Amino acid sequence: MEKRNNQPFIFLAWAVVLILAASAIFGGVVLWQTVQQTQKAMEPVNEFTSHLATQVAQVLNPTPTIYPDPVTIIHSVRSLARLETIQYSVEKIITAESGQGPFGFLFGDRLLLVAHGVVIAGVDLAKLSPGDLEVEDGVLYVKLPEAEVFIATLDNEYTYIYDRDTGILNKGDIHLESTARQAAELEILKAATKDGILKQAQQNAENYLLRLFLQLGYRDVVFQ
């Protein structure tokens, strides 16, 4: 039998493969260029959309503008000698409401206040008189004033209204938030006092003054 020559078919197959590969590469390049051109063409549209979204956000959530009065009145200046020895950070949830009842859905007003407060206590050394200090045989006897709360106030940075629900015919009680904040300050003070802030403040003051008086050369210090 005569041997058939397959080389032309092999060359033809390779040629087809090369043509298909070249077409795929060329098609990929064209597609990539098209995508790049499309993205470039869409850049102005995307920038406009982003700018428009920013403008809408500013309209819906405007940044408040503050105008402080240039006139400042200082009512009094007083010297202090307070030894602050402890600070409490307290969180309380306060619910304030008005106009509740059968017609609450019409005239009611209710808000939920998340209150963060600070309570600072210590000893007022201005109340310490010369007669409250006695020295016998190198021992210092001190009659220290009782600890007291110096500051009990809300931290406005972390205090906020979590929720507020007003009736259909009620625009909101303008005094309700102020009332809630005042109640929150009292509750924060009560919580710190109940936890023993004054006792801890007194102990901290004695520990601090003990180290101070010993460094001044007294043999011992007794707090009365």
Structural domain count, the chain: 2
Crossing angle (nearest 10°) for helices 197-215 and 176-194:
60
Q: Which domain holds residue 168?
A: 82-223
67 inside domain: no
Per-residue pLDDT, averaged over 89-115, amounts to 83
The CA-based diameter of the chain, rounded to the nearest angstrom, is: 137
Looking at residue 35, its amino acid is V
Per-residue pLDDT, averaged over 13-33, amounts to 57
Q: Are residues 143 and 203 in the same domain?
A: yes
Q: Is 170 helix (H, G, I), strand (E, B) or coil?
A: coil
What percent of the chain has pLDDT above 90?
A: 43
Q: What is the pLDDT of residues 123-150, one digit of tens each?
A: 999 999 989 999 998 899 999 999 999 9
Residue 72 is classified by DSSP as -
pLDDT at 60: 58
Q: Are residues 94 and 35 in the same domain?
A: no
Q: Identify the burial level of 203 via C-beta atoms within 10 angstroms of its C-beta, where 0-12 means exposed, 13-18 middle and 19 or more buried.
A: middle
Split at pLDDT 50, 70, 90, the class of 1 is: very low
31 inside domain: yes
Residue 198 pLDDT greater than 90, yes or no:
yes
Q: Are residues 107 and 26 in the same domain?
A: no
Per-residue pLDDT, averaged over 187-205, amounts to 96
Split at pLDDT 50, 70, 90, the class of 61 is: low
192 inside domain: yes
pLDDT at 46: 63
Q: Are residues 99 and 51 in the same domain?
A: no
119 inside domain: yes
2 inside domain: no
Q: Read off φ and ψ for residue 80, nearest 5 degrees.
A: -130, 150
Strand partners, 114: 93, 160
Split at pLDDT 50, 70, 90, the class of 3 is: very low
Pairing between β-strand 160-166 and β-strand 148-154 as defined by DSSP bridges: unpaired
> Hunting for tokens 């050369």 — which residue is that?
217
> Hunting for tokens 């202090």 — which residue is that?
80
98 inside domain: yes
CA dist., res. 128 & res. 223, Å (int): 13
Helices (H), 131-196: 176-194
